[in-house]
DNA sequence: TTGTAGGCGTTATCAG
DNA sequence: CTGATAACGCCTACAA
């Protein structure tokens, strides 16, 4: 039987209240008594029952997730993971609110952020691009004492408390490694399709990709980035053009969160099968494309882990306690046809 | 504020005890009152506070993990994950006991299992080969009402309640896919090194590997399995012999849980760099081998996930409640130089 | 068949 | 500075 506060109160010859005071480092206890209690604590090997503590404390965490209203399927999977987490969050005394803003509309985002304050929110997780407006809105929240974590794409300039997501440079490196290894040794060129060079995660991935290609696969030519802005028409046109113009093309790296248009084009293009395609994020589209052999590899992050990590971190920050960094590291996952779920 | 049992008691015009009875589906309540209470429950949207329930119930889970005393580093990582889980298990009211038996000694294993019974254990997780002795010992435990899960290597003939680990056929397929894709198009042959054909997981992996190689990479010759029995000397000799005898060798697939001896040989062999090496399980050895380029890819399972899943499943079985299969699926992870943690 | 009262391990209020 | 005492949300004898 684990020792309880009662046991250590008895052992130290003090009352429950006093034990609680030293346990929670509250003032108003003689140094002498503190010593006695602490002695009893580690003599009996006491560890506090967190669930009982939370019960008594009546602690609730009101957390807000701010996500773009974007066409990319990835955001949808993130939303799904969030509502999944919401179902079991009652057990953690956590209330999750999901706020949306139209993608690419910083003003709407700022308006959304304005509705949040220390009085109604214990922590905010944000998946948004890093613009000046956003930076200011976050600064206000932070100075109001609300913990902030950046989701998927980092917001370093905002002074966010933490970033939850993969190391995107390493993610790009991983994509590059797979591209090079799958490619064979024949030379050729690789097309790089980004969603937007405004998005920090896209830029970092491209950087990592270029590093590895230059270091380890110099015989492959990496073409300049093409921005699709997640527009299906643009993507279709651009990809077709390059496929026609570059008969030496042997691979395509899709950097952004969405690959629907790319997959669409490839599905009907006669050269698709000879190309090595590497994309990011596992969604219904990339999943199906892996299965049918259109895409060769996906570099992904587990949205469930992302959401749960954000929740843990926000609760910890809100309590002013530390986190275990190793536990919050989001893995860079590689998915191919054969390890698909 | 979430509604509590008190609220629904009030709403239904009954006492706490009655609410509790219908909540836990206990007998001794009129159909009529049951209806009234249930009506109140889903009218107020009540969900029980599991932590408070567990606190009141004083439920404890005494779980045992039975692991081999084996030289493979993989078992060490599993042990580590287990003791890691042990540190935070107090919060889950779970007591974890780790029992060891000398690898390859079924009698010792059976003796170990004999010390367990329904009186001292609420669930057992076993990582062991499938032998008749083991089957009987497990049958006894099961008929005693103790839930059993197989760990890493399945024990289907024992009637275990659940298997926690990767689908090893798919794991072998994944290894085959990587071998084929990394290999280039030049033909050649691949050596397959198993730890023992007695181990079910090894057999299943080999099976999956062969499937993919035959389906998708028929130009590569897959050599017969070589059994190392996790003996470093045997491994060293066998690998060297094949390297000398088969100049057309282009790859090695290490099927077992241990790759130390293989890595050792390769580190000094002049042909190592031209070979594609695929191994299983991320350990300090394979990690370092990935980093230095000796191994190209590792197919792995997260031992942390394995342990946590086993704990969840055993608790659920012990409570006689269902599990969420999707949540308990262990991912087949692919690790290369660039996504190494 | 139903209700009362006490307890699970912790925190928090209010006297002393 | 310290100690009773009453919560927190739920479970469970025991009594009615």
Q: pLDDT tens across B114-148, in order? A: 999 988 999 999 999 888 988 999 999 999 999 99
- A50 pLDDT higher than 90: no
pLDDT given at position A231:
84
CA–CA dist B240, B227 (Å, integer): 14
B270 band by pLDDT with thresholds 50, 70 and 90: confident
Interface touch A91/B334, C-beta < 8 Å = no
What total of structural domains would you count in chain B? 3
In DSSP terms, A98 is beta-bridged to A65
In a domain, B154, yes or no: yes
Chain B residue nearest residue A59, CA to CA: B1
CB contacts of B331 in chain A (<8 Å) are 333, 339, 341
DSSP B162-224: EEES--HHHHHHHHHHHHHHHH-SS--EEEEEES-TTSHHHHHHHHHHHHHHHHH-TTSEEEE
Q: State, as a whole number of angstroms, the distance between the CA of A26 and the C1' of C11.
A: 12
Give me the residue from A51, A329, A336 closest to B177, CB to CB. Answer: A336
Interface touch A336/B47, C-beta < 8 Å = no
A251, A271 contact by CB (below 8 A): no
Is the minimum distance from the CB of B51 to strand C below 7 Å?
Answer: no
Question: 3-class DSSP state for residue A119?
Answer: coil
DSSP B142-173: HHTT--EEEESS--GGGT-SEEES--HHHHHH
CA–CA dist A209, B36 (Å, integer): 63
Give me the residue from A185, A335, A338 closest to B173, CB to CB. Answer: A338
In a domain, A127, yes or no: yes
Helices (H) and strands (E) in chain A, counts: 13, 11
CA–CA dist A38, A29 (Å, integer): 12
CB contacts of B181 in chain A (<8 Å) are 181-182, 296, 336
B164, B125 contact by CB (below 8 A): yes
**Pair of tokens at residue B89:** 């298990």
Across residues B236-265, what is the average pLDDT?
92
Give me the residue from A54, A173, A296 closest to B338, CB to CB. Answer: A173
CB of A291 within 8 Å of a chain B CB? The answer is: no
Across residues A34-52, what is the average pLDDT?
89
Distance of CA B99 to the CA centre of its chain: 17
Residues B93 and B183 in one domain: no
Max mean pLDDT range (A89-93, A159-163, A184-188): A159-163
Mutate to test the interface with A, among B212, B328, B338 (most CBs of A within 10 A): B338
CA–CA dist B254, B179 (Å, integer): 11
CB of B271 within 8 Å of a chain A CB? The answer is: no
Residues B286 and B321 in one domain: no
**Pair of tokens at residue B28:** 């001794």
pLDDT given at position B183:
84
Which residue is nearest nucleotide D2, judged by alpha carbon to C1' distance?
A18
Pairing of strands A297-300, A333-335: antiparallel
Using one digit for the tens of pLDDT, what is the confidence trace for B197-228?
Answer: 888 999 999 999 999 999 999 999 999 999 98
Q: What is the nearest CA distance from B340 to chain A, expressed in angstroms?
A: 8
Q: State, as a whole number of angstroms, the distance between the CA of B4 and the C1' of D6.
A: 18
Strands laid side by side in the A189-194 sheet: A221-227, A189-194, A249-254, A276-280, A297-300, A333-335
CATH number of the domain where residue B36 is located: 1.10.260.40
Q: State, as a whole number of angstroms, the distance between the CA of B16 and the C1' of D14.
A: 15
CA–CA dist A275, A252 (Å, integer): 7
What is the value of pTM for the model shown?
0.91
pLDDT given at position A70:
87
Q: State, as a whole number of angstroms, the distance between the CA of A38 and the C1' of D5.
A: 24
Across residues B74-103, what is the average pLDDT?
89
Residues A143 and A72 in one domain: yes
- B231 pLDDT higher than 90: no
A59 band by pLDDT with thresholds 50, 70 and 90: confident
In terms of pLDDT, which residue wins out, B298 or B31?
A: B298
Residues B146 and B186 in one domain: no
Across residues A144-172, what is the average pLDDT?
95
In a domain, A40, yes or no: yes
Residues B321 and B295 in one domain: no
- Containing A304, the helix (H) or strand (E) segment is helix A303-319
- B91 pLDDT higher than 80: no
pLDDT given at position B292:
95
Across residues A170-178, what is the average pLDDT?
98
CA–CA dist B312, B149 (Å, integer): 11
Of A60-69, A152-161, B117-126, B312-321, the range with the lowest mean pLDDT is: B312-321
Residues A86 and A190 in one domain: no
Burial class for B199, CB neighbours closer than 10 Å (0-12, 13-18, 19+): buried
CA–CA dist B154, B152 (Å, integer): 6
Residues with CB under 7 A from strand D: A 13-18, 21, 27-30, 32-33, 52, 55-56, 58; B 1-2, 4-6, 16-17, 20-21, 23-24, 46, 48-49, 52-53, 55-57
Please list, in sequence order, all residues whose beta carbon lies within 8 angstroms of the beta carbon of residue B278, skipping any fewer than 6 positions away. B175, B178, B179, B182, B251, B252, B253, B254, B295, B296, B297, B298, B299
Pairing of strands A221-227, A276-280: unpaired
pLDDT given at position B59:
83
Q: Which residue has the tokens 């010859």?
A: A13
Q: What is the nearest CA distance from A213 to chain B, expressed in angstroms?
A: 12
Residues B81 and B144 in one domain: yes
DSSP-derived letter for residue A326 is: G
- Containing B327, the helix (H) or strand (E) segment is none
Across residues B153-177, what is the average pLDDT?
96
Using one digit for the tens of pLDDT, what is the confidence trace for B322-331?
Answer: 888 888 999 9
A300, A285 contact by CB (below 8 A): no
Burial class for B86, CB neighbours closer than 10 Å (0-12, 13-18, 19+): middle
In a domain, B120, yes or no: yes
| Domain of A260, in residue numbers | 168-300
Residues A199 and A256 in one domain: yes
Interface touch B47/A90, C-beta < 8 Å = yes
CB of B61 within 8 Å of a chain A CB? The answer is: no
CB contacts of A296 in chain B (<8 Å) are 181
Beta strands in B258-305 (DSSP E): 276-280, 297-300
CB contacts of B49 in chain A (<8 Å) are 55, 90-91
Residues B319 and B282 in one domain: no
CB of B333 within 8 Å of a chain A CB? The answer is: yes
Q: What is the nearest CA distance from A141 to chain B, expressed in angstroms?
A: 25
User: How high is the mean pLDDT of chain B?
Assistant: 92
pLDDT given at position A209:
98
B258, B72 contact by CB (below 8 A): yes
Is the minimum distance from the CB of B268 to strand C below 7 Å?
Answer: no
- B242 pLDDT higher than 80: yes
CA–CA dist B78, B210 (Å, integer): 28
Report CA-CA distances (Å) from B259 to B195, B273, B336.
9, 17, 15
CB atoms within 10 A of CB B6: 10
CA–CA dist B93, B87 (Å, integer): 11
Q: Which residue has the tokens 């570099």?
A: A299
Residues A82 and A108 in one domain: yes
Longest dimension (CA), chain A: 85
In terms of pLDDT, which residue wins out, B179 or B229?
A: B179
pLDDT given at position A170:
98
Mutate to test the interface with A, among B302, B339, B340, B341 (most CBs of A within 10 A): B339
Using one digit for the tens of pLDDT, what is the confidence trace for B57-68?
Answer: 888 889 999 999
Across residues A136-146, what is the average pLDDT?
93
In a domain, B149, yes or no: yes
- A173 pLDDT higher than 90: yes
pLDDT given at position A94:
87
Residues A181 and A265 in one domain: yes
- B99 pLDDT higher than 90: yes
Q: State, as a whole number of angstroms, the distance between the CA of A25 and the C1' of C4.
A: 38
User: How high is the mean pLDDT of chain A?
Assistant: 92
In a domain, B294, yes or no: yes
CB of B336 within 8 Å of a chain A CB? The answer is: yes
Chain B residue nearest residue A328, CA to CA: B341
Give me the residue from B170, B185, B336 closest to A177, CB to CB. Answer: B336
In a domain, A341, yes or no: no
Q: Which of B109, B103, B131, B105 minimizes the C-alpha distance to B64? A: B109
Q: Which of A219, A154, A215 minimizes the C-alpha distance to A184? A: A219
Interface touch B333/A333, C-beta < 8 Å = yes
Using one digit for the tens of pLDDT, what is the confidence trace for A257-310?
Answer: 888 999 999 998 888 888 999 999 999 999 999 999 999 999 999 999 999 999
Q: State, as a whole number of angstroms, the distance between the CA of B40 and the C1' of C1.
A: 19
Give me the residue from B2, B54, B170 closest to A339, CB to CB. Answer: B170
CA–CA dist B177, B253 (Å, integer): 11
pLDDT given at position B126:
97
> Half-sphere exposure (CA, 13 Å, Cβ side) for B222?
22
In terms of pLDDT, which residue wins out, B87 or A170?
A: A170
pLDDT given at position A302:
95
pLDDT given at position B207:
98
Give me the residue from B49, B212, B296 closest to A338, CB to CB. Answer: B212
In a domain, B177, yes or no: yes
- A187 pLDDT higher than 90: no
Residues B152 and B73 in one domain: yes
**Pair of tokens at residue A69:** 């209203």
CATH number of the domain where residue B311 is located: 3.40.50.2300
- B320 pLDDT higher than 90: no
- A332 pLDDT higher than 80: yes
């Amino acid at each position: 039987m684990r020792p309880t506060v009662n046991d250590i109160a008895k052992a130290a010859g003090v009352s429950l209240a006093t034990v609680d005071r030293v346990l929670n480092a509250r003032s108003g206890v003689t140094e002498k008594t503190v010593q006695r209690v602490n002695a009893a604590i580690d003599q009996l090997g006491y560890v506090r029952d967190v669930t009982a503590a939370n019960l008594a404390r009546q602690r609730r965490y009101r957390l807000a997730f701010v996500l773009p209203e974007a066409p990319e399927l990835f955001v949808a999977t993130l939303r799904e993971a969030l509502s999944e987490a919401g179902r079991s969050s009652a057990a953690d005394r956590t209330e999750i609110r999901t706020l949306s803003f139209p993608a690419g509309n910083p003003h709407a985002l700022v308006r959304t952020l304005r509705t949040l304050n220390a009085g109604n929110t214990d922590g905010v997780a944000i998946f948004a691009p890093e613009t000046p407006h956003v930076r200011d809105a976050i600064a206000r929240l932070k100075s109001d004492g609300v913990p902030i974590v950046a989701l998927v794409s980092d917001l370093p300039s905002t002074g966010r408390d933490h970033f939850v997501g993969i190391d995107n440079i390493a993610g790009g490196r991983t994509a590059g490694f797979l591209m090079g290894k799958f490619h064979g040794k024949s030379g050729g060129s690789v097309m790089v399709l980004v969603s937007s060079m405004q998005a920090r995660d896209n830029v970092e991935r491209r950087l990592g990709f270029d590093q590895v290609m230059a270091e380890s696969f110099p015989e492959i030519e990496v073409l300049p980035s093409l921005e699709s802005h997640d527009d299906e028409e643009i993507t279709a046109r651009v990809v077709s053009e390059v496929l026609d113009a570059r008969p030496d093309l042997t691979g395509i790296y899709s950097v952004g969160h969405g690959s629907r248009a790319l997959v669409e084009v490839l599905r009907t293009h006669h050269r698709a099968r000879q190309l090595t395609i590497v994309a990011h994020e596992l969604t219904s589209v990339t999943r199906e494309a892996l299965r049918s052999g259109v895409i060769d590899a996906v570099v992904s992050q587990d949205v469930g882990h992302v959401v749960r990590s954000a929740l843990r971190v926000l609760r910890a920050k809100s309590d002013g306690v530390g986190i275990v960094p190793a536990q919050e590291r989001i893995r860079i996952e590689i998915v191919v046809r054969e390890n698909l779920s």
